[in-house]
Amino acid sequence: MVTTSFKTTKSEEIFAAAQKIMPGGVSSPVRAFKSVGGQPIVFDHVKGAYIWDVDGNEYIDYVGTWGPAICGHAHPEVIKALHEALEKGTSFGAPSVLENVLAEMVIDAVPSIEMVRFVNSGTEACMAVLRLMRAFTGREKVIKFEGCYHGHADMFLVKAGSGVATLGLPDSPGVPKSATNSTLTAPYNDLEAVKALFAENPGEIAGVILEPVVGNAGFITPDAGFLEGLRVITQENGALLVFDEVMTGFRIAYGGAQEKFGITPDLTTLGKIIGGGLPVGAYGGRQDIMSMVAPAGPMYQAGTLSGNPLAMTAGIKTLELLQKPGTYEYLEQITKKLSDGLLQIAKDAGHAVCGGHISAMFGLFFTGGPVHNYEDAKKSDTAKFGRFHRGMLERGVYLAPSQFEAGFTSFAHTEADIDRTLAAAKEVLSTI
């Protein structure tokens, strides 16, 4: 944790080479550190709550490969299960009992899910769920919220969160108007705006999709009554309610945000944690709706690697680990300590901040707030966030390189890790 010894020479060399052969030097935009300045560090290996870069620096990690690593990286039991699965082959392209096991676990856990289809990413899950919303209702329009991210499919690249928000990009070139004509948007936490859209488009809206707790515009929680209101409005209008729980599933609670808030959507998308660090996604919901999916029904959706035995194995083991008594109590305890500590230290140092946490998800905005939606989030001092990020990195704490991404803890994080993180924050926040 000594700033002067912080060297990233090898990372810089590798990243310089990467930029010549891959756009921006990365395989996914936010990784490039564009919004926080400096260069990304290049990882060598990860274990538990820690990551090590190619220069040998160690960091406490609060990104957790963007959500999946809720058990900590490379958990020994997940690795052991993967070794055993590997011996049986890496891909079947045919049914395996592993799919039944993970499907049962997901159905038991997530209140809205009676049947599930596995895919390979959260993006794929959201693309498929949109097709299903349209197929089931016979309507084309869909409502999404500003700052919410549902993957990079054309139809969702309208006022999207995550990398789109981080880089301040306009809606992406290459997306045809015809793909987004049917995408309506409203500010998060604004029921009146949703009601107005339904009134303006009678009988045309297939449904509403949202992050029940937002993690892709920074961390934003639903106001009291917002999720309930959406449930009522969609029902009144014969439209579907879809929770995109790719991030919140098995993180906000074992049964996701829908368990935590007691609101049951019609359909749900999952990803991240259910793949235990391997590429996975899933969508599921009411049996009558899911029965429309091919080959049970006419809505086509397929995948060469879907239900991949390694991804299923890592997911099963991860969910088993999460089922151990006390897991979510512990996640809440350490995340509260971290989040409350950061807010207090920042305020004591005279910064205007707001933020919070739910279970193993947290966020800190450099604005006095309150933050109810993406417009509020954009009032954050992103330059200051960049200095905070850099200072923490130099002191061995790896935060998401964007003001507009939530932070994640795992049950591998110890109280001592949180104490070290807060000590680093105290130093950094007194100097930026």
Active site residues: 149, 244, 272
In this complex, which beta carbon is closest to ligand PLP, that of residue 256 or of residue 281? Answer: 281
Q: How far is CA 368 from the centre of its chain?
A: 24
* Separation between Cα atoms, residue 197 and residue 205, nearest integer Å: 9
Q: Extract the tokens encoding 317.
A: 């083991």
Residue with tokens 């104490």: 419
Binding mask 354-393 for ligand PLP (x = CB under 6 A): ----------------------------------------
Q: Which of 149, 188, 182, 207 is nearest to 29 (CA)?
A: 149
In this complex, which beta carbon is closest to ligand PLP, that of residue 137 or of residue 216? Answer: 216
In this complex, which beta carbon is closest to ligand PLP, that of residue 215 or of residue 391? Answer: 215
Binder of ligand PLP out of 53, 99, 244, 266 (CB under 6 A): 244
In this complex, which beta carbon is closest to ligand PLP, that of residue 8 or of residue 121? Answer: 121
Site for ligand PLP in 280-299 (CB under 6 A): 281
* Separation between Cα atoms, residue 60 and residue 413, nearest integer Å: 8
Whose CB is nearest to ligand PLP?
122
CB of 309 to ligand PLP, least distance (A): 19
Burial class (CB in 10 A: 0-12, 13-18, 19+), 431: exposed
* 406 touching ligand PLP, by CB under 6 A: no
Q: How far is CA 209 from the centre of its chain?
A: 15
* 270, 281 contact by CB (below 8 A): yes
* Separation between Cα atoms, residue 250 and residue 253, nearest integer Å: 5
Q: Degrees (nearest 5) of the Cα angle 144, 148, 149?
A: 105
Q: Is the dihedral of CA 187, 190, 192, 194 positive or negative?
A: positive
In this complex, which beta carbon is closest to ligand PLP, that of residue 132 or of residue 432? Answer: 132
**Residue 253's beta-bridge partner residues?**
249
Binder of ligand PLP out of 78, 119, 239, 246 (CB under 6 A): 246
Binder of ligand PLP out of 165, 247, 253, 364 (CB under 6 A): 247
Residues written for the chain: 432
Pairing status of strand 205-210 against strand 240-244: parallel
CB of 131 to ligand PLP, least distance (A): 15
Pairing status of strand 281-285 against strand 267-271: antiparallel
Q: Extract the tokens encoding 378.
A: 């954009």
**Residue 267's beta-bridge partner residues?**
242, 285
CB of 189 to ligand PLP, least distance (A): 16
Options 30-38, 242-250, 327-335, 384-392: segment touching ligand PLP (CB under 6 A)? 242-250
Other beta carbons less than 10 A from residue 302's beta carbon: 11
Q: Extract the tokens encoding 197.
A: 């859209």
- The site that binds ligand PLP (CB under 6 A) totals a number of residues, namely 15
In this complex, which beta carbon is closest to ligand PLP, that of residue 144 or of residue 413? Answer: 144
In this complex, which beta carbon is closest to ligand PLP, that of residue 40 or of residue 122? Answer: 122
CB of 64 to ligand PLP, least distance (A): 12
* 216 touching ligand PLP, by CB under 6 A: yes
Site for ligand PLP in 93-152 (CB under 6 A): 121-123, 126, 149-151
The answer to whether the peptide bond before residue 295 is cis (omega within 30 degrees of 0) is: yes
CB of 123 to ligand PLP, least distance (A): 3
Options 34-42, 92-100, 244-252, 364-372: segment touching ligand PLP (CB under 6 A)? 244-252
* 10, 55 contact by CB (below 8 A): yes
Residue with tokens 């959507």: 265
Q: Is the dihedral of CA 346, 348, 353, 355 positive or negative?
A: positive
Q: Which of 328, 386, 393, 390 is nearest to 361 (CA)?
A: 328
Site for ligand PLP in 162-201 (CB under 6 A): none
Helix (H) or strand (E) holding 388: helix 382-394
Options 209-217, 231-239, 320-328, 377-385: segment touching ligand PLP (CB under 6 A)? 209-217
CB of 67 to ligand PLP, least distance (A): 7
Site for ligand PLP in 259-278 (CB under 6 A): 271
In this complex, which beta carbon is closest to ligand PLP, that of residue 134 or of residue 152? Answer: 152
CB of 216 to ligand PLP, least distance (A): 5
* 211 touching ligand PLP, by CB under 6 A: yes
CB of 188 to ligand PLP, least distance (A): 13
Options 211-219, 337-345, 358-366, 412-420: segment touching ligand PLP (CB under 6 A)? 211-219
Question: Which residues in this chain contact ligand PLP in the complex, by CB under 6 A?
Answer: 121-123, 126, 149-151, 211, 215-216, 244, 246-247, 271, 281
